[in-house]
Structure 1
Amino acid sequence: MRIPVALWIWYHGGPFRGFQRQALGPTVQESLEAALQTAGVPSTGVMPCGRTDRGVHARMQVVSFRIDPRDTPEALATRLPALLPPGIGMCVARRPHPSFHAQWSAEGKTYRYRVQLGGTVAPEWRPYVMEARAEPRLAPHDIAPGRLEELLRMAVGQRDFVAFHENSSPRKLRTLESVAVKELGGGLFEVILRGDAFARYQVRYLVGSALLTAAGGLPEERWQAALETGERITGLKAEAAGLVLWEVRYPAKLDPFTPAERAAPPGLPEGPPFLGAPEG
């Protein structure tokens, strides 16, 4: 019987057309599965905790798959990193609890969105942020970070967020547990969103439309109506480059990763876009 593995990987989304394998490629899944096959893993495909879209980054993407019973996660961890292409890396490979499933066992996720509200984007950050002044619908206005946080905190709670996601995602109740806006310096800010689940483009529509409202391009009453009743708005989908899947949370009894690994992920590169303390 093959042995289950839970694998924590990171990636920079710029070179890839999203996570999920597709004909046009390259994708993270295609690249990861090719590396795993070269490393001797049977080509049965990987199960991710969720998909990220084209250009979105991941500090913590978790995938599960099975390996030959003569192999071990520890041995795989020594072979795999050198086989991964630039832009993808590995943090931890571990044999999980027998009932662990990368997607269905997850109890929540944290995303971080980086946006330049003032000043000049630092060269090392340029591939990983949205520059507000470069967006025509935002360019003429100054956006106060406090106002942005105030608007986003109105979204905290349980609702279907139907006005803020694609129809390809099912309409159902989701809980946004918390939102915070933190300054990173030099006019760069990050929005931290923690929730039980997120629909496709939900973070990008929430952040983009909150920016638009803070800039005066969308009346606050329309923002509130979109949140409270699902009223459709001509919102703004923030750029993919600013978004990072930051952390995936599992129940303690199923979590394959230790608190120490979560606090200081082994193999995670220093520098943008993976900076900052993990969310507890």
Structure 2
Amino acid sequence: MRAFRVAYDGRPYHGFQRQPQVPTVEDAVFDSLRALGVLASDADAPEGYAAAGRTDAGVSAVAQTVAFECPDWLTPRAFNGELPEHVRAWASADVPDAFHATHHAASRAYDYHLYAPTADVDRAAAALASLEGTHDFADLTAASEVDTTRTLETATVVREGDVLRVHVRADGFLWELVRRIVALVRSVATGDRGLDAVDRALAPEPLPDHERVGPAPPEPLVLVDATYPDATFERDSEAAASAAAAFESAHATAVSRARVTGALRDGVDAGSNSVDDDRR
């Protein structure tokens, strides 16, 4: 059994897990294994297959982890030979036959890159500090699970220019939990809600619908870690370099597009000011 670290840009996909009629990251993984002859054409999944998590549509990952039975020659660089350029394997670990990438993850961590130039980072940090610990997160999830109690081990924020990078680590996550935490924190950091809104979201009494927060957009969310105490991942330098190059190319394109939209914004703003001046 071997486990692989897989990074991907999730924006072109309808989530990680396979769904009918739409492209998913898992489809790309299985298509690659079929092309390599590791997965039979009539098989649903490799023997022993499991993944660390099921990221939503638009969500990306640095350290998604998939594990399955495979031949010794299947290294990350061999895997990448058939994966699309925005899905890259970059490390691997030999694991016991009983290893399960979902159930054996001791914790998972996400970063959310929140564009919030006017947000108060201290208020955001105070809101996140109140969310740390073991709580019932029923009012911060779209999940219908009976047990909605989780332990948020770490919840921090740092300002990086106009962006707040929110980092959360937990023993497990509920559907949309991170994105709803971010939405709640943003509302506190911008002054739309008081800090007591966090306490109300964690209280035993269910929130009325008008007080519940919806999820923040999925695209700024990244799965950055999944920890396995008994697995030691070895970085494949060639595979990691090719992954970095592929994502650097995508990053350069995104920066250029952001510059264009910024120029449009500034141009329209300057134009509107000149129109106002002419009218005066």
Partner of 2:169: 194
The aligned amino acid for 1:246 is V
Question: 1:87-108, CA deviations, whole angstroms, 9 ceiling, x for partnerless residues?
Answer: 1001123321233211111100
The alpha-carbon distance between structure 1 residues 65 and 77, as it changes in their structure 2 partners (threshold 3 A), is same
Amino acid in structure 2 at the alignment position of 1:98: D
The aligned counterpart of 1:173 is: 149
TM-aligned CA deviation for residue 111 of structure 1: 0.6
Equivalent residue runs for 1:110-121 within 5 Å = 110-118=109-117
Q: Which residue does 1:101 correspond to in 2?
A: 100
Q: Distance in 1 between matches of 2:146 and 2:18?
A: 21
What TM-score, normalized by structure 1, do the two folds share?
0.78
Q: TM-score, normalised by structure 2?
A: 0.78
- How far 1:228 moved relative to its partner? 3.0
Secondary structure in 2 matching 1:32? helix
From 198, 217, 222, give the equivalent of 1:239.
217
- Choose which of 52, 57, 60 in structure 1 pairs with 2:60: 57
Q: Deviations over 1:47-93 (max 9, x none)?
A: 111100000000000011112xxx31x44434221211131001123
Partners of 1:24 and 1:86 in 2: CA distance: 21
Q: Distance in 1 between matches of 2:149 and 2:212?
A: 22
**C-alpha distance after superposition, 1:247-279 (max 9, x if no partner):** 00111xx21415xx49xx934426588xxxxxx
Residues matched between the structures, number: 236
Cα distance change on mapping 1:174 and 1:157 into 2, 3 Å:
same
1:147-192 deviation per Cα after TM superposition (whole angstroms, max 9, x unaligned): 11111110001012111111334423210011111122x3222011
Retained in 2: the 8 A contact 1:97–1:256? no
Task: Identify unmatched segments of 5+ residues in structure 1.
Answer: 119-141, 274-280
Q: Give the structure with higher Rg (CA).
A: 2
For residues 230 and 38 of structure 1, what CA distance do their matches in structure 2 show? 52
Partner of 1:89: 88
For 1:85-164, list aligned pairs within 5 A.
85-118=84-117, 142-164=118-140
Is 1:18 the equivalent of 2:15?
Answer: yes
Secondary structure of the structure 2 residue equivalent to 1:229: coil
Q: Is residue 7 from structure 1 mapped to residue 4 from structure 2 by the alignment?
A: yes
- For residues 26-54 of structure 1, give each alpha carbon's deviation from its aligned partner in whole angstroms, at most 9, with x where no partner exists: 00001110001111112441411110000
Partner of 1:277: none
Matched residue of 2:110: which SS? strand
More helix by share: 2
Alpha-carbon deviation of 1:143?
1.4
- Kept after mapping to 2: 8 A contact 1:161/1:230: no
The answer to whether residue 204 in structure 2 is matched with residue 205 in structure 1 is no
Q: Deviations over 1:130-161 (max 9, x none)?
A: xxxxxxxxxxxx31111111111100010121
In structure 2, what is the Cα distance between the partners aligned to 1:48 and 1:79?
19
Alignment of 1:66 onto 2:69: yes
Match of 2:29 among 16, 24, 32: 32
Match for residue 257 of structure 1 among 209, 224, 233: 233
What code does the residue aligned with 2:57 have?
R
CA distance in 2, matches of 1:191, 1:101: 28
Q: In the aligned structure 2, how far is the partner of 1:99 from the partner of 1:145?
A: 44
* SS of the residue 1:171 aligns to: coil
Q: CA deviation at 1:210?
A: 1.4
Aligned to 2:102, what secondary structure does the other structure show?
coil
Question: Unaligned regions of 5+ residues in structure 2, if any?
Answer: 252-280
Superposed CA RMSD: 2.2
Residue 213 and residue 183 in structure 1: after superposition, are their counterparts in 2 closer, same or farther (change >3 A)?
A: closer
